[in-house]
Structure 1
Amino acid sequence: MLQAALHSGAAHRRAVFEVFARQLPHGRRYGVVAGTGRLLDAVERFRFGPQELAFLRDSGIVDETTLRYLSSYRFGGNIWGYAEGDVYFPGSPIIVVEGTFAEAVLLETLVLSIMNHDSAIASAASRMVTAAGGPGGRPLIEMGSRRTHERAAVAAARAAYIAGFASTSNLGARFCYGVPSSGTSAHAFTLVHDSERHAFESQLASLGPSTTLLVDTYDVARAVRTAVDVAGTSLGAVRIDSGDLPALAVSVRSLLDSLGATSTRIILTGDLDEYSIAGLAVAPVDGYGVGTSLVTGSGAPTAALVYKLVARSDTPLEDSATAGPMDVLRPVAKRSVGKPGRGGRKWAVRHRGPAGEAVTERITLAPPDPGASDRVLLRELIRDGKIVGREPLAAARDRHQAVLGELPGYALQLSRGYPAIPTIFDRDGEED
């Protein structure tokens, strides 16, 4: 597309692309925006160096005109977006990219790969946190690194933390993003020792009594007795990874209490998702570790976001950096059956009632005139190629909890339903 557009002159037309989802995963009531911080970092370092250019030339993929363009590529346009940690609904323009067609179209795969993955993980994680009792409920540990791509694992831990997970077992996420880390031993650690007692003694000698001992390698009841015998009643926690988890939680809690280890916590792991976590609500459990279901989006491994051209100018600009005033943007949209688009650069406001509860997602073709209780959703992220919207990860995490508080109560239900609030498109003052 770039090569052909450079030859036709359309590459230098001003263009606006938008990222949105046509629908939410089946039965879900909101999505979570995540990946924005990673996207800003990626756009900033998006370059075509000598090795990439040599590959493109030697492989005959593009011509010399395109190679010259790529050799000096720097995104110099503007990007707006929903704040990371906010929620979105069908049609929400969560990312808006403005620039020449050439510089904006090159970002399509970069934007979609980051935003689709991270938003899918955060959306699933948010439901799991809700199932566990919310921010003040039982903490969750992200433990999915061994069930996904090694780079995706770090991104998934970051996204899960935004949505309310307490920590991750992935040290890469702590190294790169400061996500709190925690973990436990595996069955291999028990099996490599001469006995379960020997394994527990070794772990306690190294890590102290606050550690978490894995008690389901052999017989759970016997392991719990051994753990308390070795560690004393101040043992930090025990982890159960298999079996009838609700029943085991009850029996282990009773056994721990009878042994005087009343403060020892019980952590459950083992193919948990939001539904099984909700089912454990009445069990005497203190926390969960979630892996496979989280890093695969709990059945929705992508947010189904698309990157669509919605407006363009008619006159090619030979040099967007030095050209005069740009001509008016013209709305454009595909009209194919089943996937029609909505042309025009969008703006978004979350209309809220007097008490602050979200009522509608209102999308307009002009900058909004929000009411006293309304919240403008798009914020500036990149201006003329310079990042202006970076923020600490903690800000996105705090925002997510605040935004969930805006949604009507039924939005947090796990049962299948429709989006929590409707998306309303305004065209020239008329609702569409």
Structure 2
Amino acid sequence: MSASTALLTDRYELTMLEAALRDGTADRRCVFELFGRRLSGGRRFGVVAGTGRLLALMRDFRFGEDELRFLRDEKVVDAATVAYLEAYRFGGTITGYREGELYFPGSPILTVEGTFAEAVILETLALSVLNHDSAVATAAARMSIAAGDRPLAEMGSRRAGEQSAVAAARAAYIAGFGATSNLEAGRTWGIPTMGTAAHSWTLLHDTEEDAFRSQIAALGVGTTLLVDTYDIREGVATAIRVAGTDLGGVRIDSGDLPSMAAHVRTQLDELGATATRITVTSDLDEYAIAALAASPVDAYGVGTSVVTGSGTPTAGMVYKLVARQRSDGGWVGVAKASTDKASTGGRKAAFRTLEHGTATSELIAVSDGFERVETAAQHPDARPLQVSLVVDGEPDAAHEGSAGVEAARRHQLRVREELPVRGLALSRSDPAIPTVFVEAG
């Protein structure tokens, strides 16, 4: 078994569990929902990412002897709660949006059904994964839209925590990036990897020409040479003199990129290297990429902005109890009612209404419990958004691993086509489509 993920949990989840075991409500059937009240950063849509990672982490959500010893030694919970956790296995059901799906304010991204005891302690794990990964994927999707047909590579590992970097590479790939510099992301998730040389490589050698000759000897003329360590114009001339006109590419990592790319393209063409590609890096985000749309750039490398959500490092999602079983066995919808953080209680069924293939609304049918649950047949002009993720405690393996990543990537690129034109804009604005709540049945 892998390392336990059970202590990736906030303490209050276990103190609530202890109190619920004491007062007899621990076994009360509940429905929890993970959603965002708004789209962070004034974005017009969000992209769900992290679902496959969450399901894999849930398989290791077990309290082993080391975890239980810590809880006892630190007196986090009482002996009865430790005994409960020793045998803890999530045995409920989770439905939710497919990874790669678009989401909007109020979208029921995850619906967790089970006893209060087994569902409440998943809160922190679910939020930490989906808040981070969805923020990265949303930023990456905007960059992918701005880039159009030009390829994007994620290269931001050094700007994130070591595990966050792997997760960010995965999320960016799902949202349209074509490769990552992170080798662990390649090994774990099957994402294509890329990378050639940094400025230190050039500085290591006595001359720029020596560095280029050595790189070509090792990697072949199809490699990409970094030409801005010293003078860019001289660097391009040296690169073609050494590699010939079949050089694969040059990379520019500084300067005014639009004008620099134009000058380099002209120089390459004059030297006969008409097929040599230009890759630009240097603190790119979706706005800088959009500004380069008319420039002779062939590919982009993005670092800091993508792994930090381009200024919005969390998706702002919350995990709330929305329905519970009453003592008489019936169900009741529940919700927080505070003015600025109010939510909608009840179990939800979500659909995206479409007109000629373009999304027009996020339609959410609400019921108190299980008696009236909306089905796809009741909305023939809409696409159902929720799928089964966990049944009787067993995660659906189809959403995990590299196969799950590829499926999520295909789904993201497909559903992106449903966005109305206004949803493609980069400026801050209202969501691209409204969220409409209706009573089920």
Common fold: TM-score over 0.5: yes
CA distance in 2, matches of 1:182, 1:138: 16
Looking at structure 1, the residues matched to 242 and 305 of structure 2 have their Cα atoms a distance apart, in angstroms, of 34
Could you tell me which of 323, 342, 367 is aligned with 1:311? 323
Q: Distance in 2 between matches of 1:68 and 1:367?
A: 39
Q: 1:34 corresponds to which residue?
A: 49
Computed over aligned residues only, the root mean square deviation of the Cα atoms, in angstroms, reads 1.2
Question: In the alignment, does 2:396 pair up with 1:388?
Answer: yes
TM-superposed deviation, 1:387: 1.6
For 1:373-403, what per-residue CA distance to the aligned partner results, in whole angstroms no more than 9, with x for missing partners? 3111111100001122623211111111110
C-alpha distance 428-381 of structure 1, shift in aligned 2 (>3 A): closer
What is the identity, as a one-letter code, of the residue corresponding to 2:51?
A: T
- 1:426 is aligned to 2:430: no
By how many angstroms is 1:428 displaced? 5.1
Does the Cα contact within 8 Å between 2:105 and 2:435 map onto a contact in 1? yes
Q: Which secondary structure does the structure 2 equivalent of 1:26 belong to?
A: helix
The corresponding residue for 1:356 is 357
**Unmatched 5+ stretches in structure 1:** 316-325
Alignment partners' CA distance in 2, 1:411 and 1:341: 25
Task: Tell me how far apart the structure 2 counterparts of residues 74 and 329 of structure 1 sit (CA, whole Å).
Answer: 24
CA distance in structure 2 between the partners assigned to 1:408 and 1:394 by the alignment: 25
Which one-letter code corresponds to 2:388 in the other structure? Answer: E
Instruction: State which of 263, 281, 286 in structure 1 corresponds to 2:275.
Output: 263
Counting helix residues as a fraction of each chain, which structure ranks higher?
Answer: 2
Query: Alpha-carbon deviations, 1:212-255, whole Å to 9, x = none?
Result: 11111001011111111111111111101011111110110011
Q: Distance in 1 between matches of 2:178 and 2:374?
A: 38
Partner of 1:243, secondary structure, is coil
> CA offsets per residue over residues 67-111 of structure 1, 9 Å max, x none?
001111111100001011110000000000001101101100000
Deviations along 1:284-322, whole A, 9 cap, x unmatched?
00000001000110111000000000011123xxxxxxx
C-alpha contact (below 8 Å) 1:169/1:183 kept by paired residues: yes
User: Runs of 5+ in structure 2 lacking a partner?
Assistant: 1-15, 367-372
CA distance in 1, matches of 2:340, 2:209: 62
Q: SS in structure 2 opposite 1:414?
A: coil
Task: Quote the Cα distance in structure 2 between the aligned partners of 1:411 and 1:389.
Answer: 32
**Which residue pairs with 2:370 in the alignment?**
none
**Do structure 1's residue 12 and structure 2's residue 19 form an aligned pair?**
no
Q: Which residue of 1 aligns with 2:111?
A: 96
Structure 2 counterpart of 1:335:
337
Do the aligned partners of 1:14 and 1:329 also contact (CA within 8 Å) in 2? no
Tell me, yes or no, if the aligned pair for 2:131 and 2:314 is still in contact at 8 Å: yes
Shift of 1:351: 1.0
Shift of 1:416: 2.3
2:379 corresponds, among 346, 364, 371, to: 371
Distance 2:320 2:360 in 1: 27
- SS at structure 2 position matched to 1:222: helix
When structure 1 is superposed on structure 2, of 179-188 and 328-337 the one drifting more is 328-337
One-letter amino acid matched to 2:348: K
Instruction: Assess if the C-alpha contact under 8 Å between 2:97 and 2:385 holds in 1.
Output: yes
Contact 1:14–1:100 under 8 Å retained in 2: yes
SS at match of 2:34: strand
Partner amino acid for 1:363? Answer: I
Query: How far apart are the structure 1 equivalents of 2:102 and 2:152?
Result: 21
Shift in Å, 1:371: 3.0
Paired residues for 1:210-229 under 5 Å: 210-229=222-241
CA drift of 1:337 comes to 1.9
1:88-141 C-alpha deviation (Å, 9 max, x unpaired):
0000000000011011011000000000000000000000000001xxx11000
Tell me, yes or no, if the aligned pair for 1:235 and 1:264 is still in contact at 8 Å. yes
Q: After the TM superposition, which residues 214-293 of structure 1 pair with which residues of structure 2 at under 5 Å, given as runs?
A: 214-293=226-305
- Rounded Cα–Cα distance in structure 2 between residues aligned with 1:389 and 1:314: 34
Q: Tell me which amino acid in the other structure corresponds to 1:195.
A: T
Q: Which moved more, 1:269-278 or 1:25-34?
A: 25-34
User: Quick one: which amino acid aligns to residue 358 of structure 1?
Assistant: A
Measure the CA separation in 1 of the matches of 2:357 and 2:379: 12
The answer as to whether partners of 1:370 and 1:376 remain within 8 angstroms in 2 is no
Match of 1:82 in 2: 97
> What is the identity, as a one-letter code, of the residue corresponding to 1:20?
F
Task: Tell me by how many angstroms 1:329 deviates.
Answer: 2.2
Contact kept? 2:227, 2:235, Cα under 8 Å: yes
Distance in 2, Cα, partners of 1:328 & 1:245: 63
Match of 2:145 among 112, 118, 130: 130
Aligned partner (choices 121, 130, 154) of residue 142 of structure 1: 154
Cα contact 2:47–2:102 (8 A) shared by 1: yes
The one-letter code sitting in structure 2 at the alignment partner of 1:30 is F
Structure 2 equivalent of residue 197 of structure 1: 209
Give the Cα separation in 2 of the matches to 1:55 and 1:19: 29
Flag the 1:267–1:398 CA change in 2: closer, same or farther, 3 A: same
Q: 3-state DSSP class of the match of 2:259?
A: helix
Secondary structure of the residue that 2:301 maps to in structure 1? strand
| One-letter amino acid matched to 1:178 | G
Aligned residues: 415
Q: Distance in 2 between matches of 1:162 and 1:182?
A: 17
Give yes or no for contact 1:311–1:331 (8 Å, CA) kept in 2.
yes
Distance of aligned partners of 1:428 and 1:41 in 2 relative to their CA distance in 1, 3 Å threshold = closer
Contact 2:37/2:343 (CA < 8 Å) preserved in 1? no
> After alignment, is 122-131 or 372-381 more displaced?
372-381
Is structure 2 residue 408 aligned with structure 1 residue 401? no
